[in-house]
């Protein structure tokens, strides 16, 4: 008798454990299923009219979030924020990464960009252009930023208007961008690893020739200090 009871107890226990783990797995699956559409719905809600193309664009753009942050607002200092980039800037950048001789030797982006068609890039360009650029919060050395402001006004302002916040003619957004990213980008410009227009190259070289790495760092400090 005692034997039977303990056996059925074991069976009940096994049954319980089994149904519990099934229930837990089901819960997890539900949680997963709940998370994904919620994230998408949020992305959709931020976009203007939710046309069919937009859902696809936000789905494509989701694959960039692991590095560039949600909707392109980067939280990692070596990775640029791409939210709010003009469509021209975005498309030019992606095509330059795709093309081996495109003048942009991205550490990672070459391989990533290669996986997207012109249509994909166009769709993502539209998506990111609609997102809000959120300036990165960074510690600022005000004296250094002040020195950078003077260099900016003399050498860079003509093309990087509005303290580097305006992205006209594909000049990109410098204001509020991450310092480490801007620093290595300008080093790549100086070393020739990144091709930019002749006029800009001349100015960056002039600044570096006069003031060295400190002058470049001052410019970067100034752009980072621009929080509009």
Binding site residues, ligand HEC, CB under 6 A: 63-64, 66-68, 79-80, 82, 90, 93-94, 106-109, 112, 124, 155-156, 158-160, 169-172, 174, 182, 185-186, 196-197, 199-200, 203-204, 207, 219
Closer by beta carbon to ligand HEC, 136 or else 156: 156
Closer by beta carbon to ligand HEC, 80 or else 176: 80
As measured in angstroms, the least distance from the Cβ of 72 to ligand HEC is 8
As measured in angstroms, the least distance from the Cβ of 88 to ligand HEC is 10
Sign of the CA dihedral running 195, 178, 166, 72: positive
As measured in angstroms, the least distance from the Cβ of 26 to ligand HEC is 32
Closer by beta carbon to ligand HEC, 44 or else 161: 161
Using DSSP's 3-state secondary structure scheme, residue 20 falls into helix
As measured in angstroms, the least distance from the Cβ of 74 to ligand HEC is 9
Cα–Cα dist 46/53, whole Å: 15
Cα–Cα dist 58/189, whole Å: 31
Length in residues, the chain: 228
CA distances 104 to 26, 84, 183, Å, are 47, 20, 15
Cα–Cα dist 220/141, whole Å: 11
As measured in angstroms, the least distance from the Cβ of 200 to ligand HEC is 3
Q: Which residues have C-beta within 8 Å of that of residue 109, sequence separation ≥ 6?
A: 93, 94, 97
Cα–Cα dist 43/91, whole Å: 21
As measured in angstroms, the least distance from the Cβ of 42 to ligand HEC is 18
Closer by beta carbon to ligand HEC, 23 or else 203: 203
* Beta pairing partners, 104: 194
Closer by beta carbon to ligand HEC, 30 or else 202: 202
Using DSSP's 3-state secondary structure scheme, residue 91 falls into helix
Closer by beta carbon to ligand HEC, 187 or else 227: 187
């Amino acid at each position: 008798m005692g034997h039977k009871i303990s056996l059925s107890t074991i069976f009940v226990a096994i049954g319980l454990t089994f149904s519990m783990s099934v229930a837990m797995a089901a819960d997890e699956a539900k949680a997963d299923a709940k998370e994904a559409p919620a994230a998408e719905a949020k992305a959709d809600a931020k976009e203007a009219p939710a046309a069919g193309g937009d859902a696809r664009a936000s789905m494509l753009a989701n694959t960039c979030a692991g590095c560039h942050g949600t909707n392109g607002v980067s939280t990692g200092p070596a990775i640029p924020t791409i939210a709010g980039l003009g469509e021209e800037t975005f498309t030019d950048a992606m095509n330059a990464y795709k093309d081996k001789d495109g003048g942009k030797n991205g550490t990672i982006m070459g391989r990533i960009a290669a996986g997207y068609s012109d249509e994909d890039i166009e769709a993502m360009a539209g998506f990111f252009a609609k997102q809000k650029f959120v300036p990165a919060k960074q510690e600022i050395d005000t004296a250094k930023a002040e020195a950078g402001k003077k260099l900016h006004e003399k050498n860079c302002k003509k093309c990087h208007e509005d303290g580097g916040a305006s992205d006209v003619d594909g000049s990109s957004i410098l204001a509020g961008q991450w310092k480490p990213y801007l620093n290595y980008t300008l080093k790549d410009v100086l070393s020739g690893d990144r091709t930019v227009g002749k006029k800009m190259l001349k100015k960056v070289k002039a600044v570096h020739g006069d003031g060295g790495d400190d002058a470049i760092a001052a410019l970067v400090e100034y752009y980072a200090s621009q929080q509009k």
